[in-house]
């Protein structure tokens, strides 16, 4: 796996080596622009530092001032592309895989293409760049614990925010924003071009993302619209999403716009807005999520159904299990549920924020058992917000926190995020599919593993823990 901080140094070293081998009369050129070759062939010119040879089909070679020698992806790509780990890559502006973002009519179907990214590959983004996988196409980004795939900005290190865009997946799964056409207009994915997502296939498959790190993103692509680290527009449960880290994003870490996506082993660190966000009828699953917040950041979870119609169907109603949110003074609450969202939150821990839970704008979700907390620890300065939600001085969060499923105690997290409190250990594993809800609807699936402990890390586990070895150094 190539290390980002070495790239520029390697390019400079190559330049110096070439210079040392030249007589004073020789000309040496260093190409700091992009080669326009479209066949992935040789780039650069002269006898100086040149673009990589034999860049993969669908990319072109260049030498970038910050990123060094790279293979470049740009514009709309309508072919299968494989990014081998032999090179580093640069996203130049918007990079769109496929044509499924068009407004589809009648029986029209998009072409299907796959972007394959080999384990250990580094992908850099210019400040106005982002990657979009459209409906019908797929991403195949299967990293490993030893060789994760990394998306970051072109500059040295991984510590910035808002320095490039992010990764966007668009699928055919259901949302409640569909007017019946099967096309929902996406937000924050380009300044001029409309892009569409959605449909009725909740088993839709947008590909694979495993052992992937996304950092320094959140560039503002439109006024007041930044890109999330990972955005899932109508993504279906056929998609494989596990061992994903989003770090230091200017906007949200991960956001679900409807769909039925299922994510496990999710790490969200130092994101400046909300860490987890959902709306528009999201009915997927999240398990083993570790969230660490920074001061003045947004919510650990900001969750909605629909702002104009709280009861709009399908209602946002995901099932979550084994979530740990480690808050920070001055940040927003651990979780905020509003605008009619439901949720089933099991075996989780919220700690360290000024407030653990805020619930606003609800209709009948609490009384109909569609917003349920089961085996959850709150440990914040105030466990609930003090808003007047019903005009009579009552905070809806008090109803949730006052249930038998919530305990207000110190989970006693250690440096490895393992809870030492006996309240975080259960006598037997919880069957997440047995929670009763209105109409017999339950979004827990066999994707979720039944566990007998609270939080993202098993108190009986030993090193290496599931988040170790592949996440960015120093972020946990």
| Residues 256-276 pLDDT 10s | 999 999 999 999 999 999 999
- Confidence (pTM): 0.89
Q: Which residue has the higher pLDDT, 370 or 458?
A: 458
Which pLDDT belongs to residue 42?
32
Strand-pair partners of 373:
345
Instruction: Tell me how far the alpha carbon of residue 109 is from its chain's centroid.
Output: 27
Rounded Cα gap, residues 2 and 121, in angstroms:
7
Q: Between 11 and 348, name the one with better pLDDT.
A: 348
Torsion of CA 40, 126, 256, 363, to 10 degrees: -160
Q: Supply the DSSP string of 377-444, one letter for each residue.
A: EEESSEEE-----SSSS--HHHHHHTSTTEEES---B-TTS-B-SGGGB-SS---GGG---GGG----
Is the pLDDT score of 304 beyond 90? yes
The candidate with the shortest Cα–Cα distance to 170, out of 269, 85, 292, 259, is 259
Q: What percentage of the chain exceeds 70 in pLDDT?
A: 86
Among 123-127, 384-388, 437-441, whose mean pLDDT is lowest?
437-441
Question: Which of residues 338 and 29 earns the better pLDDT score?
Answer: 338
Tell me the per-residue pLDDT of 317-358, one tens digit each, with 9 for 90 and over.
999 999 999 999 999 999 999 999 999 999 999 999 999 999
Average pLDDT over residues 416-442: 81
| pLDDT beyond 70 at 158 | yes
- Per-residue pLDDT tens over the stretch 63-109: 987 888 999 999 999 999 999 999 999 999 999 999 999 999 998 99
| Rounded mean pLDDT, 457-462 | 98
pLDDT at 217 over 80: yes
Share of the chain above pLDDT 90, in %: 73
Residue 423 in this model has a pLDDT that exceeds 70: yes
Instruction: Check residue 46 and give its pLDDT.
Output: 36
Q: In the predicted model, is pLDDT for residue 388 greater than 60?
A: yes
The per-residue pLDDT for 224 is: 76
Query: How many CB atoms are closer than 10 A to CB 110?
Result: 17
The C-alpha atoms of residue 414 and residue 465 are separated, in whole angstroms, by 13
Q: What is the pLDDT of residue 39?
A: 32
In the prediction, which pLDDT does 160 show? 94
pLDDT at 113 exceeding the cut of 90: yes
**Average pLDDT of the segment spanning 446-451:** 92
Q: What is the 3-state secondary structure (H, E, C) of 120-177?
A: CCEEEECCCCEEEECCCCEEEEECCCCCCEEEEECCCCCCCCCCCCCEEEECCCCCCC
Instruction: Give phi and psi for 22, each to the nearest 5.
Output: -105, 145
pLDDT greater than 90 at residue 250: yes
């Amino acid at each position: 796996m190539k290390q980002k901080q070495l790239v520029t140094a390697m390019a400079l070293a190559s330049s110096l080596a070439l210079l040392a081998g030249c007589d004073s009369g020789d000309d040496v050129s260093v190409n700091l622009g992009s080669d326009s070759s479209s066949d992935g062939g040789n780039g650069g010119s002269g006898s100086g530092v040149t673009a990589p040879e034999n860049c993969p089909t669908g990319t072109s070679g260049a030498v970038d001032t910050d990123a060094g020698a790279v293979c470049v992806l740009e514009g709309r790509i309508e072919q299968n592309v494989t990014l081998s780990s032999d090179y580093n890559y640069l996203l130049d502006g918007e990079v769109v895989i496929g044509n499924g973002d068009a407004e589809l009519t009648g029986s029209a179907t998009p072409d299907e293409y796959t972007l394959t990214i080999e384990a250990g590959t580094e992908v850099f983004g210019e400040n106005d760049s982002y990657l979009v996988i459209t409906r019908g196409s797929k991403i195949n980004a299967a990293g490993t614990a030893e060789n994760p795939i990394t998306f970051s900005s072109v500059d040295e290190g991984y510590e910035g925010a808002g320095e490039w865009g992010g990764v966007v997946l668009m699928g055919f799964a259901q949302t409640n924003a569909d007017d019946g056409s099967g096309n929902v207009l996406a937000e924050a994915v380009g300044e001029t071009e409309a892009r569409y997502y959605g449909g009725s296939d909740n088993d839709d498959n947008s590909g694979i993302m495993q052992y992937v790190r996304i950092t320094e993103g959140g560039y503002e692509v439109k006024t007041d619209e930044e890109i999330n680290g990972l955005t899932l527009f109508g993504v279906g449960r056929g998609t494989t999403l596990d061992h994903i880290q989003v770090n230091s994003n200017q906007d949200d870490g991960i956001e679900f716009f409807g769909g039925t996506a299922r994510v496990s082993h999710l790490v969200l660190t130092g994101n400046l807005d909300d860490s987890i966000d959902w709306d528009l009828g999201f009915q997927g699953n999240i398990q083993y999520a570790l969230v660490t917040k920074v001061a003045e950041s947004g919510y650990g979870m900001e969750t909605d159904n629909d702002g104009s119609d709280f009861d709009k169907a399908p209602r946002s109603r995901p099932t979550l299990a084994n979530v740990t949110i480690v808050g920070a003074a001055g940040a927003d609450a651990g979780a905020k549920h509003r605008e009619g969202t439901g949720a089933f939150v099991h075996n989780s821990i919220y700690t360290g924020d000024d407030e653990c839970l805020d619930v606003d704008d609800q209709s009948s979700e609490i009384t109909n058992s569609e917003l349920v907390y089961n085996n959850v620890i709150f440990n914040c300065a105030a466990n609930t917000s003090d808003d007047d939600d019903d005009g009579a001085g009552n905070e809806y969060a008090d109803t949730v926190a006052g249930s038998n499923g919530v305990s207000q105690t110190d989970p006693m997290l250690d440096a490895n995020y393992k809870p030492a409190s006996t309240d975080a250990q259960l006598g037997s594993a919880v069957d997440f599919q047995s929670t009763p809800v209105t109409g017999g609807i339950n979004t827990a699936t066999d994707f979720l593993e039944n566990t007998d402990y609270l939080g993202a890390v098993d108190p009986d586990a030993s090193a290496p823990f599931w988040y170790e070895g592949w996440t960015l150094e120093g972020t946990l």
